[in-house]
Structure 1
Amino acid sequence: MKEFPLIVTTDWLAEHLDDPQLRIVDATVFMKFPEAGGPPEVESGKASYGKGHIPGAVYADIVGELSDTDSALPFTVPPRETFVEKLTALGIGDGVYTVIYDQNALVGESVAASYWASRLAWQMRYEGFGQIAILEGGLQKWLAEDRDLSTDVPAFPKADFTGQRQENMLATKEDVQKAIDDEQTVLINSLSPEEFAGTQTDDPRSGHIPGSENVFFGLHADEQTKALYDDDKLRALFEHTGALDPDKKVITYCGGGIAATWNALILNKLGQPNVAVYDGSMNEWASDPSCPIVKSTK
């Protein structure tokens, strides 16, 4: 089976819909931030999937089945055996390749980023699944091009899986604490400039981890077309951070480890292989008073 890019176009997917080795996954999650502040409201995209999805797609429930429901933190990786069991039951494993999409579903925002799709792709690679791509522009781009949807729910035979966990892809709080004073590690905060600075709230624990560089995850694609910018423009967004140096390690983080996977994917696309995601991100960091936070711009 030939290698294929980290990101595929809608044209590519349309041409391969009938490939028996292809698995298409809808990873949509809806997230809405209350106007009064506080934690986001999160809803599975399973009902939306049932109303219409890309033909041949199965649904992967990141919220209900593919996150650690026993954790005090939302969306952290579940036990390996749970994740592998759920994915292989969808027919994903050895001998197939997977294209993941979502609906860019940050309610009330115009950010063009398939960050739920990238979250699932990152979890899969972390557990050792291979041959994974993100659909450029997600379902919104697919629909804008008047492509077909289906309500049929495919059933695939349970897959075999022999992959091994890639421990270097996940960063812990302890890894980040060490990285603060490590010149060979670049910390990338993936949130908005306001969240990075801590100016959007009076919360004393808002802001960023000392030494972090800010690259907002919503800057990588056109808000109207949902298409990714070219590599030169993407590189320019990271140039000031040092994250493109292949001799350095990069750790991306955000609020809860979702948007950080989109930045990690873009860095991989630009040729930086040494990227880990801080799974606990600011949810974990800010909850520990011993962890320093900077509340200012750089």
Structure 2
Amino acid sequence: MKNNYITFKEFTKNYIRNFPDTFRYFETPIQIYKAENLFSPDILTPTPLLKANFNFIVLPTSGNFEQQVGNEIKKVSENQALLVMQGEVTSLLRQSRNVKGFYILFEDKILQQFKDHGSFIKLFTTAPIIQLQKNESEFLELTCKLIIRELEAPECDEQIVLHLFQSLLLKFLKSSELRKGLSRQFDIAVLFRELVYKHFSAHYSINDYASMLHISPNYLNRCVQNIWNKSAKQFTQEFIIIQSQKLLQDFSGSVSDIAYQLNFSDPSYFSRLFKKTIGISPQEYRSNLMHDMS
């Protein structure tokens, strides 16, 4: 099955109508752009559901936008931040005309360089939206401006950029409501998610996943519930439906073909599960996509 990973350069080329030729791509593991250059009337929304090959943070200072992350739709405005991990399925659905702020993307290896990398990974995994106080937003805005200033310097010092970015992450960490004392449950939930990402098309049962993790199904459910506020079964079903949304973007195959591709023996059951999860049938979802494209 096609993964549909997309790079940042591919995204700007394919989904932004008038992306300026003079826009500078920084050849660094940390990149930062002004949101108004991306979230503008020139962007084609809604963008298709895609897996990004980069982590990103969006910090709006005015306006708002809606982003689908996994199976959830997040509305983000000023005094909030959206954090999305590499490999997460995501789509920009819509944005207001006055969106301003910062769009930061970075490679996985960046987090590994920090002493608190475990906490930062947990932050991205469990808190996609962070609510900020006004003084925190001002600090983050200033830090973003300093990062841009250093990146645009004739002789950019990547160590300065790295330390500024670390201070930005630390502020997010302090601002978040990340719960403590869940490290064991968090580790199990993340391992479970990785197994689902790898084996979802096989439709393994929760008992199968628990066996792979050498724990009981009840404890697996407790871990997933505490981290993502949903049962392990609900998590796997929602993830499968997200994959089907990507496949429905290709109009060459029927809904039944997609159901069989995802190892559903009964296409009607797939349609019922899709409607239960998304709120509309696969046929209606595809019709809406065709309408948006026209």
Higher relative contact order (CA 8 A, sep 6+): 1
The verdict on a shared fold, with TM-score over 0.5 as the criterion, is no
Q: Which has the higher helix share?
A: 2
TM-score, normalising length from structure 2? 0.27
TM-score, normalising length from structure 1? 0.27
